[in-house]
Structure 1
Amino acid sequence: MIYTASYSSPFGDMLLAQKDGVLVGLWFEGQKYYGAAISDAVPKDDDKTSVKVKRWLDRYFAGQKPDAAELALAPAGSDFRQAVWAVLREIPYGKTISYGDIARMLAKRKGLAWVSARVVGGAVAHNPVSVIIPCHRVVGSDGKLTGYAGGIDKKIKLLEMEGIDITMFKDARRASKGAV
């Protein structure tokens, strides 16, 4: 059985999903792929896992740097997506990495000559555990703040909250002016 709970973040409401005490999803309301891979979920805001995740999120949004390793995570995805999400978990708080960097890391780890940054981007976009698996820290190799399933406005807010100067990214000022 999958249980869901709501969380009100400073950047919008979120839905978390857990199964057997393990977090399987965390999405901003209305984000791309919202609630993907969960069906027949039952709302349950006060179970032990939901409370633990909410406390982690409270600390994160308070500017602390909680470790994702504190939480049991089990996002559903292919082996390739799992490998990409593992790299995302390695990105330190307040730092960014490009899709191309991730592709090069994966190629090296898997002993491949090349991995497509575009395919990496698809895996990043399908990350079902927003914020905790920090896909918002991935930027374009060309210095642009590229897409975020939760919306570019939320990506900018998350990066700024982590102390990242977004003015170093091309088109960041224009994107932030359109931010909600």
Structure 2
Amino acid sequence: MIIQTSISSPIDDIIIQATDKGVSYVGFYPPVEHPHTPFERVTNKAVLICAAQLNEYFVKKRTTFDVPLDTKGTVFQQSVWQALLTVPFGQSQTYGYIANQLNNPKAVRAVGAANGKNPISIIVPCHRIIGANAKLTGYAGGLDRKRWLLKHEGLNLY
């Protein structure tokens, strides 16, 4: 069973979905993970932790997250998502940087595709990844939200 709730945020309502193992989706309406799965609109420990930590993030009381995750993806996608977790609050990196972190410098486009499939927005900070030309590139939540998140973290370059 997937547990789902939503919280209000400065950039619209955020959906949180979780299994008994951990958070499986954090994003915006409509949810892209489990779109046709029946949800139980209650909470579990992972949902409560996630909601509390996201609220702290939005009021600038949190810069890192400690949320149990239960993500589904290929081995490559999982490796990209793990690499995203190494990009600190208030900093940005490029797709090429992540590809180099994975010892696969030619995988820039594949990194971009995996970044776009990240099911745990904000917590797994795909919004911190920009193009090699320092331009904003795609974000599943939309470029306005990406710009807001980067500015919230002190990056006003975009």
TM-score of the aligned structures, taking structure 2 as reference length: 0.93
Q: Please tell me the residue identity of whatever aligns with 2:85.
A: R
Q: How far 1:38 sits from its partner (Å)?
A: 5.2
2:131 — aligned with what?
A: 140
Amino acid at match of 2:57: Y
Structure 1 residue 105 displacement after superposition: 1.3
1:60 and 2:57 aligned: yes
Task: Report what 1:87 is aligned to.
Answer: 83
Spell out, residue by residue over 1:63-108, the C-alpha distance to the aligned partner (whole angstroms, 9 max, x if none): 123432x21012110000000000001110000000011111112x
The residue aligned with 1:123 is 114
Please give the secondary structure, in 1, of the residue aligned with 2:98.
Answer: helix
State the Cα distance separating 1:21 from its structure 2 match: 4.3
The 5-angstrom pairing of residues 20-169 of structure 1 reads 20-30=20-30, 34-37=31-34, 39-68=36-65, 70-107=66-103, 112=104, 114-166=105-157
Task: Point out 4+ residue stretches in structure 1 off by more than 3 angstroms.
Answer: none
* Secondary structure class of the residue paired with 1:9: coil
Q: Which moved more, 1:58-67 or 1:34-43?
A: 34-43
User: Cα offset for 1:39?
Assistant: 3.8
The residue number in structure 2 matching 1:4 is 4
1:4 and 1:45 in contact (8 A); partners too: yes
Shift of the alpha carbon at 1:29?
1.8
Secondary structure of 1:12's counterpart equals coil
TM-score by length of 1: 0.82
Residues of 1 paired with 2:140 and 2:92: CA distance?
17
SS in 2 for 1:90: coil
The answer to whether the 8 Å contact 1:148/1:155 transfers is: yes
Query: Is the CA contact (8 Å cut-off) linking 1:2 and 1:38 kept in structure 2?
Result: no
- Cα separation, 2, equivalents of 1:92 and 1:145: 18
CA gap of 1:145–1:89, structure 2 versus 1, over 3 A, is same
Identity within the alignment, %: 34
Matched positions, count:
158
Any unmatched runs of 5+ in structure 2? none
**In 2, are the aligned partners of 1:83 and 1:106 still within 8 Å (CA)?**
yes
What are the ranges of 5 or more consecutive residues in structure 1 without an aligned counterpart?
A: 167-171, 173-180
Asked which structure has the greater CA Rg, the reply is 1
